[in-house]
Structure 1
Amino acid sequence: MSNVDPSSMSRRQQMSATYKMAKQTYPWLPWLMLGTFLLVGGLGFAVFNWVLPGAGVIGLVIAIIGGLMFGLLAMVIVFGRRAQSAAYAQMEGQPGGAARALSMLRRGWRTDQVVAFNKQQDMVHRVVGPPGIVLVGEGNPHRLRTLLANEERRHARVASEVPIHVVVVGDEEGQVPIRKLVRHVQKLGRNVKGADLTDVLSRLKAIDANRSNLPIPKGPMPTSMKGLRGQMRGR
């Protein structure tokens, strides 16, 4: 897996990296995309022919263009969904996978990776956004209890009036699968607005100033994650 920073890549390079990543997980992806393009494109052509019967050459040209547009749009949608699924598959089980998933949150959210962790690499990430403060733990759920409780108390000292949500990533009961993490966080409500968010972030600096520099655990990070953010927006 390449360690190239997506921010240094062009849009074309990001798309190429995303395609390669998705194809590694789904080798049949090119055939799915081709089949989608032909099927939906054909349906689009038929629809335009039905809407513009007897329109001659102009009608035929419009039908061809319409079919191509329908086919391309459907192919892009299928590609985006498969690429997103492949990215999550690569993140699952990897140290720091939750932080990489949270990096896909849109503007208006502040994500701080690994604000706390232990020797066993259980870790806590922090998200500040409309719901308030969200503490996201990944690792052993039993060890995380202490880690999350300590962080919750620490944050409550400087932002007692701000809702603090605790989320544990995992596939067991009461946990949130990594593929559903972003959507789960976004659905926690809208309790903090505009200037209040700035005030919360300012007060949290007092906590961060007292921490030592924490190294982020290493692990394979899909180089295409930045390109996938746009595909996730609104979903």
Structure 2
Amino acid sequence: MADTDTPKRGFFRRRPKDPSKPGRIAQMVQVYKMARKHYPAVPWLLAAAILGGAAIGVVVGLLLPPIWLWIVFGVMVGLLGAVFMLGRFAESAAFEEMRGQPGAFGAVLNTVRRSWLAEEQPVAIDPRTKDLVYRATGLGGVVLLSEGPKGRTAKMLEKERKRHERVLPNVPITCIQGGEEDGQVPMSRVSSTVRKIPKKLNKAEVLVIRKRLAALGTMSTRPPVPKGIDPNKVRPDRRAMRGR
């Protein structure tokens, strides 16, 4: 018997909104507040972008009438520029809030996307120092990203690289040291660094690699995740980081 209490969706009827999720305007307000918290000059920069677009429209309109059309066009361009700037400031603010928290680099690696899939839990952990190594797979092969001081994590990365090469002998493996020391990659550059890795595999090969790594990452001899390291708690809001 059909459930008569559940309303049917028509072809042109919108999906009902989830009351637990904020709307677009509420999201933009949250993004603005987070950016302004870390960068007080954000309101003035956004206003400058909009007014600058309008000024350009006025100048072009004086040369190529009608002026009102170019003013509207300039304001729209200024708004797009302001939204782009707000997204960049929000991304930097999100990194600042995550800085120093265990699992922060794993959370940033999860935001890369674009044919890359990162694992939520680290693949290597030092229970004493809580240094971590995270992994992502994609068309560029395998990425191993460390979190911790340069001297300690270098040995962990090399050990994980050799371990992965035994399972994936012909797969490119890229090791990245995450951190703020010389020679390390800061959180703000992790995504761009991973995206620059050349694509050398196809989708079918990536699926085979992930199946092999699934068994490698669930070995009973691997240590459990120490308490206090939960990438889910420090994962940034992707909508906020994109300024949406």
- TM-score, normalised by the number of residues in structure 1: 0.82
Q: Please say if 1:33 is aligned against 2:65.
A: no
Partner of 1:116: 124
- Deviation at 1:76? 1.3
Separation in 2, partners of 1:27, 1:87 = 15
Q: Work out the percentage of aligned pairs sharing the same amino acid.
A: 34
Partner of 1:142: 151
8 Å CA contact retained: 1:48, 1:66: no
Letter of the 1:125 counterpart:
Y
8 Å CA contact retained: 2:125, 2:223: no
Partner of 1:200: 209
Q: How does 1:52-201 map to 2 (within 5 A)?
A: 52=65, 59-113=66-120, 114-119=122-127, 120-201=129-210
Separation in 2, partners of 1:70, 1:86 = 24
| 1:217 maps to which of 229, 232, 237 | 229
Letter of the 1:48 counterpart:
G
Partner of 2:11: none
Deviates most, 43-52 or 124-133: 43-52
- C-alpha distance after superposition, 1:8-62 (max 9, x if no partner): 544433322222211110122112111221122221232133222xxxxxx2431
Higher relative contact order (CA 8 A, sep 6+): 1
3-state SS in 1 of match to 2:234:
coil
Q: Relative to total residues, which structure has the larger helix share, 1 or 2?
A: 1
3-state SS in 2 of match to 1:209:
coil
Separation in 2, partners of 1:19, 1:144 = 36
Separation in 2, partners of 1:224, 1:190 = 27
